[in-house]
Chain A
Amino acid sequence: MKHSFLDQYSDRDSPLHRLDPRSKLVATLAFIIAVVLTPVDSWPAYGMYLVLLAVLIVLSRVPPLYILRRSLVIVPFVLLVAVLIPFFKGGEVAGSYNIGMWNISVSQSGLQIFWNILARAWLSIISLSILAATTRFASLLEGLERLRFPRVLVMLLSFMYRYIFILTDEVMRMKQARDSRSFGGKWRWQIKTVGNMVGTLFLRSYERGERVYAAMVARGFDGHSRTLERLRFGRRDALFAAGLSLALVAINLFNLLY
């Protein structure tokens, strides 16, 4: 079955695609840290971050609309977390409403924080989308491993990436099997069916886990994951990470003086 892949466009070619994943990982992390640490009221700095990302997107030759679409995924989550802040943060009142017996007021600084959280989250997710769209998942994992990210976590991620599509297929098949025998029925009955399906999926995944482990053991696995060193961290990679970090520092210095 067809699925939209997590790392779509990552098999294309561009200056960004050719970089060592370690360089991109470090640069992305630096970017996110910088964004998170930028003061709330420094809107010019946020503008410049966006420009920086735009330059990267152009360099990566990934369709900007694709990155935009991916990045919007974060909005509902942020809204859920941040939507109440304007109502509870004290300070200068931006507006107040009377709804029945409640008096609800929205504070100026609360609103600013709200927009700020949204902007930070959005910029961070754009940078991550660029990373994912320019790096194959396998090299991303390799990069993480070489950066001394815990091996167990890298293996976990790798299994998740490998099996998520197989599990999706399994769910789709179960759904088809249910739908071809299901003729409505009470709401409670349908919920129960879904519950059974979740249970079955769990058991099947568990059994698959055992078979996969047997296949690993049969090829000499002894609990230590080993991989070949295939990455080459070259001058260009160092240049990219350093250049991006410098740009971030420059943005913040400019912001300080401004």
Chain B
Amino acid sequence: MEELITVKNLSFSYPDGQQALIDVNLAIYRGESLALIGPNGAGKSTLLLHLNGILRSNGAVSLLGSPIDESNLKWARSRVGLVFQNPDDQLFSPTVFDDVAFGPINMGLSDGQVRQAVTRALGLVGMSGYEKRSPHHLSFGEKKRIALATVLSMSPEILVIDEPTSNLDPRGKWSFIGVLERMAGTKIIVTHDLELVGALCRRVVILDQGRVVADGGTGDILADKRLLAAHGLAPDGADLKLKRRG
């Protein structure tokens, strides 16, 4: 299988000295759907920001064989589509059209191509006809879909989605999972929603305290309750006792 993204010995600490990633190694292959899970503060979002070069640590991340650096940032960002957790951060334009068109315009597409890309992306997330709406008139679930469309319009090779189901009610969540399921291509999903992982992903990577602590098939990892509990992804013994008493 072709390796799309290679992360090699990636360590990263924030300016305030907080060590967010320690010696992370990861390979992402074409066509796979990978779940990146871990407790709060594990470094998931930091790792995700490295995947399209918003954060950079001297060539530790390669995209299609070439290390991401200053010179190929634009290319990297059009290939790796990043969907942020809060759609109110992702949608910053006065209309849905402007937001979905933002990426394609920055890529330098012609007017006609931009329009086509917008129509296609909105169609993919089931939001055709919302072009003229303004984001603050939309429901949270609708905003989530539009946020996804703003990235799909760039036709990225890899889709990286941060917490796709957070704050959605079960109906909204499952309909959004449906949208993601229909999406072809390579997907990396950052979450701690294990139902979502089970429904969408073949491979799971667990990140805890900045390190990769597990990497394997979804079935194996989700069945390993002890592993999940050790990294705060399932209730541990004490919690369970409480539950039984209740």
User: Which chain A residues border B107 with CB–CB below 8 Å?
Assistant: 220
Q: Count of B residues near A, CB < 8 Å?
A: 34
Can you list 17 residue pairs at the A/B interface with Cβ under 8 Å?
Answer: A138-B95, A158-B92, A162-B93, A162-B94, A208-B88, A215-B92, A216-B92, A216-B102, A217-B54, A218-B77, A218-B81, A218-B151, A219-B77, A219-B102, A219-B151, A228-B101, A229-B111
- Cβ of A226 < 8 Å from any Cβ of B? yes
- Footprint of A on B, CB under 8 Å? 49, 52, 54, 74, 77-78, 81-82, 84, 86, 88-95, 98, 101-103, 105-107, 111, 114-115, 134-136, 150-151, 154
Q: A163 to B86, alpha carbons, bound, how many Å?
A: 13
Give, as a whole number of angstroms, the nearest-CB distance from B93 to chain A: 7
In the complex, which of the residues B54, B93, B98 contacts A214, with contact meaning CB atoms closer than 8 Å? B54
User: Which chain B residues border A163 with CB–CB below 8 Å?
Assistant: 92
Do A219 and B106 touch across chains, with their CB atoms under 8 A apart? yes
Q: A255 to B121, alpha carbons, bound, how many Å?
A: 58
Give, as a whole number of angstroms, the nearest-CB distance from A97 to chain B: 52
- Cβ of A165 < 8 Å from any Cβ of B? yes
Give, as a whole number of angstroms, the nearest-CB distance from A220 to chain B: 3
- Cβ of A43 < 8 Å from any Cβ of B? no
Do B105 and A137 touch across chains, with their CB atoms under 8 A apart? no
Q: Count of A residues near B, CB < 8 Å?
A: 26
User: Which of B81, B84, B88, B114 is the most central at the interface, judged by chain A CB atoms within 10 Å of its CB?
Assistant: B88
Interface contact tally, CB-CB below 8 A: 77
Give, as a whole number of angstroms, the nearest-CB distance from A209 to chain B: 9
Do B86 and A218 touch across chains, with their CB atoms under 8 A apart? no
- Cβ of A166 < 8 Å from any Cβ of B? yes
Knowing A159-B92, A162-B92, A162-B135 are in contact, say whether A220-B106 is a contact too (CB < 8 A): yes
Instruction: Tell me whether chain A's interface is mostly helix, strand or loop, or mixed.
Output: helix
Sample of 12 more A-B contacts, CB < 8 Å, known A138-B98, A217-B77, A222-B74: A138-B95, A166-B136, A211-B86, A212-B92, A214-B84, A216-B92, A217-B54, A218-B52, A219-B150, A220-B78, A221-B106, A222-B106
Q: Which of A110-133 contact B (CB under 8 A)?
A: none
- Cβ of A4 < 8 Å from any Cβ of B? no
Closest to B147 in A: A215
In the complex, which of the residues A208, A215, A226 contacts B106, with contact meaning CB atoms closer than 8 Å? A226
- Footprint of B on A, CB under 8 Å? 137-138, 141, 158-159, 161-163, 165-166, 208, 211-212, 214-222, 226-229
Give, as a whole number of angstroms, the nearest-CB distance from B182 to chain A: 22
Closest to B78 in A: A220
Do A220 and B136 touch across chains, with their CB atoms under 8 A apart? no
In the complex, which of the residues B88, B94, B101, B111 contacts A141, with contact meaning CB atoms closer than 8 Å? B94
Closest to B102 in A: A219
